[in-house]
Amino acid sequence: MTHFAYRDGVLHAEDVPLPAIAEAVGTPFYCYSAATVRERFRAFADPLADRDHLIAYAAKANSNLAVLHLLGREGSGLDIVSRGELERGRRAGIPAGRMVFSGVGKRRDELEVALDAGVLTINVESAGELEALDAVARARGQRAPVSLRVNPDVDPETHPYIATGLRTTKFGVPIGGARDLYARAGSLEGIEVVGLDCHIGSQLTSVAPFLEALTRMQALMEELRADGHAIRHLDLGGGLGIDYGQGDPPRPGGLVSALRDGLAGWQGTLILEPGRAVVGEAGVFVTEVLYIKDQPDKRFLVVDGAMNDFLRPALYGAEQPIRPVREGSGSDWQEVDVVGPICESGDFLARQRRLPPFSTGDRMAVMAAGAYGATMASNYNSRPRAPEVLVSGDRFQVVRRRETVDELMAGESLPGEDWFG
């Protein structure tokens, strides 16, 4: 379950009515259910209780400190892709030894910080990065723990922007050249080979691509072991999809059980990097109708939430369920566009969507907005970012307050008058 449900016609997050949060913090805002986050994390972890494993939650999905802290208390590690995410994890109380550092473009300072922090492994994505990491490690008198991110060339059958396992993507090293690059890694003084990594994409709605990737990675792992490499862990990434109202993707338990069975007899550590599947359905984005605008051929619901707050519909064409915060009695559903205040035609939350009747001042909840929502927000059009609220039972807490206009410009300055000459 997702712990978002109607009671007496009012949408609740766990035991808290969303209108109560709206009155306290204003709109738009994000709201997360702690119970849903815990439940979804345990769906990955519990089937692996009898074997060595690490669930390294993908911080990019939702990097709010409170969410990371909640997951850390559950025993989660982190899949990080920047120095900032590393520091977020540490401030949330997650040890660096439970972090895997991924990403195709790590800077030298990020590699230095990762080594000093003691991350579990650095997932190297190119020959150039391997050489750079070796130089950084040797200069510091260290050996860097390394897994190579291998591109298994598996089609995840998802949106092209989030397909990462094809040979045409920027991620990983080709599986055909992996043995040669591992041989190079094994020869470098500053590198210690510790594992093997892959990630094929996001919002996957079938177990089949995961199992195909597992088969290819197992074959490569056997070759690497024959070459003398000690592969202590196998990282199969994340990417399991969630229900956005267009289908019923596999549940975490089914995927994890299939992977566990496929690795029967192998004693190493299995690492998984779920993100969206943990937090996606644990969040909603609540916005208020400002105006109803009728054009000759279309009705627009103009809301106070915009693409700078929630980018997925504009970026991916994502279609996410929208529900009224207060259920109405009207049955005259209409096809509408839900649009925001941003000065772009691409600023929309829904297009040509049949929705129940809304009036000015009504609030709506964009469901399944816990992943790639607040974490992708911007200040476009000089709009302060929306607050984030965490609910647990009958309590809620603001875990990121709304930005102020002054904060938008805090890092900027005007040159002195004499600067212009």
Q: Phi then psi for 292, rounded to 5 degrees?
A: -115, 120
Full strand arrangement of the beta sheet holding 10-13:
4-7, 10-13, 16-17
Place of tokens 């994502």: 318
CA atoms within 13 A on the CB side of 253: 6
Is 31 one of the catalytic residues? Answer: no
Q: Which residues of 289-314 are buried (b: 16+ CB within 10 A; e: fewer)?
A: bbeeeeeeeeeebebbbbbbbbbbbb
If we measure between CA atoms, which residue out of 153, 99, 146 comes closest to residue 127? 146
In angstroms, rounded to a whole number, what is the distance separating the alpha carbons of residues 217 and 341? 47
* Residue among 94, 129, 36 at smallest CA distance from 392: 36
Distance CA 204, CA 213 (A): 13
Contact yes or no for 108/136 (Cβ under 8 A): yes
Residue 317's contacts (CB-CB under 8 Å, 6 or more residues apart) are 159
To which residue do tokens 């400002």 refer? 290
**Assigned token pair, 214:** 């597992």
d(Cα 321, Cα 52) in Å, to the nearest integer?
Answer: 37
Q: Of 343, 405, 410, 414, which residue is the catalytic one? A: 343
Return the number of other C-beta atoms located less than 10 Å from residue 107's C-beta: 12
* Nearest one of 339, 321, 285 to 29, comparing CA atoms: 285
Extract the runs of DSSP E, i.e. beta strands, from 152-237.
173-174, 191-197, 233-235
Radius of gyration of the chain (CA): 23
Q: Which residues are catalytic?
A: 343
